[in-house]
Structure 1
Amino acid sequence: MAKVVVHLFHGDPDSLSAGSHVAERVRQVAADQHVELEIYCFGPAQAALNGSDGDAVVTEYNDQLDALIAAGVPVGTCRNAAEAAGTEEALRKRGFVLQYARDAFVRYALEGATVIGF
């Protein structure tokens, strides 16, 4: 089985919107195509998980990731960054998998995953 990782890094509206939508679109065909999907949020995209402050794009981004988690897609964030920001418990409660970025990226390489960045 092939693996696709959608790596969400940039925090600009286009990256948040496109990255989360592409992840959902891949999810829709993953089982039929025998593809395992995983999402990893890091950097500014991880910071956007902290709330929207009324920003519709950030709200939609968070809603989309929550829906992916509810659909059973593993969505990870950097444990070190979450600990530093004091968001570790809140992210875990939402269902995010906390893993050090170094470990996640090495694992993706060992698994032969295709990583798509936004």
Structure 2
Amino acid sequence: MAKTVIFLFHDDNSSLEAGSHVAERIRQVAEGQGVELEIFCFGPAQAALTEESDDPVRAGYRHQIEALTRDGVEVHACLNAANAVGTAEALISRGVTLEYARDAFVRYALEGAAVISF
């Protein structure tokens, strides 16, 4: 089975919206195409998962990530970053799995994953 990773880093509205939308669209066809989908949120995009904002794009991003976890997509974020700013519990409550970014990136290389960044 092939693996595709959506790597969400930037927190501008275009990146959050496009990255989460592309992840959903891939999810819709992944199983039928023999593709495993995973999402890794890091840096500013990780922070956007727990921020309070009335911006509809940012709220939509958070809701889309939660929907993807409910649909069985593994969503990961950096454990070290979450611990540094006290958001670990909030991320876990949204269905996000925490792991060290360095470990995830090495794992993606060993798995031969295609990583698409936003």
Instruction: Give the aligned partner of residue 28 of structure 1.
Output: 28
Decide which moves more: 49-58 or 23-32.
49-58
Q: Which string of whole-angstrom CA distances, capped at 9 and with x for unpartnered residues, describes residues 27-80 of structure 1?
A: 000000000000000011001011342111110000000000000000000000
Q: Name segments (4+ residues, structure 1) moved above 2 Å.
A: none
Instruction: Give the aligned partner of residue 19 of structure 2.
Output: 19
**1:17 and 1:93 mapped to 2: Cα distance?**
21
Instruction: Give the aligned partner of residue 85 of structure 1.
Output: 85
**2:94 and 2:62 mapped to 1: Cα distance?**
10
**2:92 and 2:63 mapped to 1: Cα distance?**
15
Please tell me whether residue 7 in structure 1 is matched to residue 7 in structure 2.
yes
Q: What fraction of aligned residue pairs are identical, expressed as a percent? A: 64
**2:16 and 2:94 mapped to 1: Cα distance?**
18
Instruction: Give the aligned partner of residue 71 of structure 1.
Output: 71
- SS of the residue 1:116 aligns to: strand
Instruction: Give the aligned partner of residue 99 of structure 1.
Output: 99
TM-score by length of 2: 0.98
Size of the aligned set, in residue pairs, is 118
**1:15 and 1:66 mapped to 2: Cα distance?**
17
**2:23 and 2:53 mapped to 1: Cα distance?**
24
**For structure 1, which runs of at least 5 residues remain unmatched after alignment?**
none
Deviation at 1:90, TM superposition (A): 1.2
**1:37 and 1:99 mapped to 2: Cα distance?**
17
TM-score by length of 1: 0.98
Instruction: Give the aligned partner of residue 44 of structure 2.
Output: 44
Query: Would the aligned equivalents of 1:2 and 1:113 in 2 still touch at CA under 8 Å?
Result: yes
**1:72 and 1:92 mapped to 2: Cα distance?**
15
